[in-house]
Amino acid sequence: MPERRTRGLKDLMRSPGRAGHGHDEVAPEQSMDPRSKTADVPAQQRSVIDNAVYVDGRRVDSPPSLPEAVASLRSQPGRMAWIGLYRPAEAEMLNVAEEFGLHELAVEDAIVAHQRPKADRYGETLFLVLRAAQYLDSPEKVEFGELHVFLGQDFVLTVRHSEAPDLGKVRRRMEGDPHLLRQGPQAVLYAILDAVVDGYAPVVAGLQKDIDEIEVQVFGGDPAAPRRIYALSREVIEFQRATRPLLDMLNGLIAGSPKYGVDGELQRYLRDVADHAITVVERVDNLRQMLQDILIVNSTLVSQAQNEEMKNVTQASYAQSEEVKKISSWAAILFAPTLVGTIYGMNFTHMPELSWVFGYPFAVALMAMVCGTLYLVFKRRDWL
């Protein structure tokens, strides 16, 4: 059965749409994979980071190649192999699939990468996709690393597509605790899950620190705050996508532990990891809610500032309008005597008022009367 699955996977990898020979169109999963083709180079020469065989929780062999590791594993019962791969190419994963009888769908996922966190069981092999995370403070960005884990009855195969998580620390921890490593592949899986979940804590702390800084920016009126809120919200949403599926994954592993003979102590360890994962998911949910609240507060403060600015503009316009009224009123008042004086200054010979003895007093009285009337009218209308 494994041989048939492996042959099917080989045919899939060699198909024109997959490899791109004879057709210009590239399969979607190929276009998603940033790695280069290196099908002619033996897998163990590039991607095998660590090859170890354990007996009773202790390393007994470190084979230099994958075939030798498989031979050492099968040389006697009771052995467990733990093989770590880093960004393997298609040919490398095909070699591994042939040796361990891995299902073609799981192998294809491991080759393509860019998978969501999940746990699938193919016969006796458990396949998990995990997303480790680390926080980069300077660019305020969460960097995710993808990890694929194949778990069999006597082997653990890890496939990393990024530097995180550091499985070297996990291996050293397990090798320093032979009693735990004696529990077999399930113990290794627990240690990997524990390392991934523990790695989320610094990310949460970094995001919380940024949110605290954003709050200061928002109440300080920094115009750059909305852009920073939006960028951080995207990081938190991506972090949610990486952490939330872990809850169902861990609950499923815990529920299936009795069926697959997982030690009771190891089950308690898994429940502890699940508790930590719940805490992380809750904190991430709170961070997202905090960002939404901050965005609302920022919008409210911006609206208040705009309203205050509009109020000031309105008040300034009103004051300017009052000044215009005063200027216009005095201009009208001053225009009245100018008009009368202009008429009497035309010096025509046949003007009745020029020879009148009361002409000058009448002109002055007329100016005063018009000016007084205009003043009273403007004063009553509060223009003056």
**Helix/strand/coil for 49:** strand
pLDDT at 192: 94
Q: What share of the chain in percent tops pLDDT 70?
A: 84
Chain segment 83-121, per-residue pLDDT in tens: 998 888 788 888 888 888 888 888 888 887 778 888 999
Determine the Cα–Cα distance for residues 238 and 233; give it in Å rounded to an integer. Answer: 9
Q: Is the model more confident about 321 or about 277?
A: 277
Classify 97 in phi/psi space as left (phi over 0), alpha (psi -120 to 50) or beta.
Answer: alpha
Comparing 307 with 60, which gets the higher pLDDT? 60
pTM over 0.85? The answer is no
- Label each residue of 297-330 as H, E or C: HHHHHHHHHHHHHHHHHHHHHHHHHHHHHHHHHH
Q: Which of 173-177, 221-225, 246-250 has the lowest mean pLDDT?
A: 221-225
Residue 26 has pLDDT above 90, yes or no: no
The whole-number pLDDT of residue 188 equals 93
Amino acid at 307: N
pLDDT level of residue 11 (50, 70, 90 thresholds): low
Strand pairing class (79-86; 125-136): unpaired
pLDDT at 152 exceeding the cut of 50: yes
**383 φ, ψ to 5°?**
-85, -20
In angstroms, the CA 72 to CA 29 distance is: 35
Q: How far apart are CA 268 and CA 309, in angstroms?
A: 61
Instruction: Read off the pLDDT band of 353 (50, 70, 90).
Output: low
CA distance 256 to 270: 12
Record the tokens describing residue 286, joined without a space: 């709170």
Estimate the crossing angle of helix 264-344 against helix 185-198, to 10 degrees.
20
Q: Where in the chain is the domain with CATH 3.30.460.20?
A: 1-180
Determine whether domain 1-180 maps to CATH 3.30.390.30: no
